[in-house]
Amino acid sequence: MSKSYSVAILGATGAVGTELLELLESRNFPLSNLKLLASQRSVGRTLPFKGENLPIEAVSDRAFDDIDIVLASAGGSTSKTWAAKAVEKGAVVIDNSSAFRMNEEVPLVVPEVNPQAAAGHKGIIANPNCTTILMAVAIWPLHKVKPIQRLVVATYQSASGAGAKAMAEVKTQASAILEGQAPVAEVLPYPLAFNLFPHNSPLNDWGYCEEEMKMVNETRKIFGTQQIRITATCVRVPVLRAHSEAINIEFETPFSPDEAREILSQSPGVKLVEDWRANYFPMPIEATGRDEVLVGRIRQDISHPCGLELWLCGDQIRKGAALNAVQIAELLVEKNLLKPAIAQAMS
């Protein structure tokens, strides 16, 4: 009989939490028990899973008793409060916040890119930022053939990156504008419906926002090199739940678009979407609800002989967050990596 595991979702009522629940069901993850954890205000609610209505429990020390895997998606402060306590109880925490991503002791994992990194965990594995995950899946297969020298990225990020409340706010703003009323912004700093603005995360001394620096630092960590030069401009756009990215890639030597297409057409987690006659390429509306990162419009950079341009779209809630976390959990189960590296060395 195959082994099954006790899993807790921390932040079960959020946009990513409910997606985690759907993915555990649709991918038939080997569960012996599933616990849904959230703040005290969500206690009394239920969420559907495999024909049942599972109750929401308040997160507490005892909530992690006999749990094998915690899928955490409740924000950085919550993860910093509870992750260590879950690990003390013997669980492995797969954390979707930014709390541990740049911690040298914590692997930062995209299963299609660096699955081997998961083996070195000490109880916590970090899920990268959504924009980083989508880009990494698309460009890693090219980097393996010819190492990337430089990346120039512009992102077009959906409301879902700011959570379910931001998605609802965009809908409300759109209705207000269409009815001739002024849109109200409460979740995001400015109205997003029929509008866009540079990502609103804090700016550093160079004028780069936190979101842009996540792409720089996380990509280097995942790829295992500090040598890639990376610059990013992140923009919030009035799309509900799929991010898009325009990526300029510079290699040391020329990389033909046809070779890149051939490689990406066979790469895990990627779907090539190109119809040049119809001017048809990836769109966020078609990436929504899909597991793959849609990649297309691959072309020679006419300003640089060693440059390629590509465009991608990916579901921010799915592969950009929940799916990547579930895939990490599947990797841990498949490779028998649930026991932390320290414990394995001692046993």
User: Catalytic residue numbers?
Assistant: 130, 243
- Count of CA atoms in the C-beta half-sphere (13 A) of 144: 14
- Alpha helical stretches, state H, 146-231: 164-178, 210-223
Q: Which residue has the tokens 């998605």?
A: 167
Q: Would you give the DSSP letter of residue 318?
A: I
User: 130-145 and 257-264 helices cross at what angle (nearest 10)?
Assistant: 120
Look up residue 94 and give its two tokens: 């797969």
Secondary structure (3-state) at 281:
coil
Amino acid in position 74: A
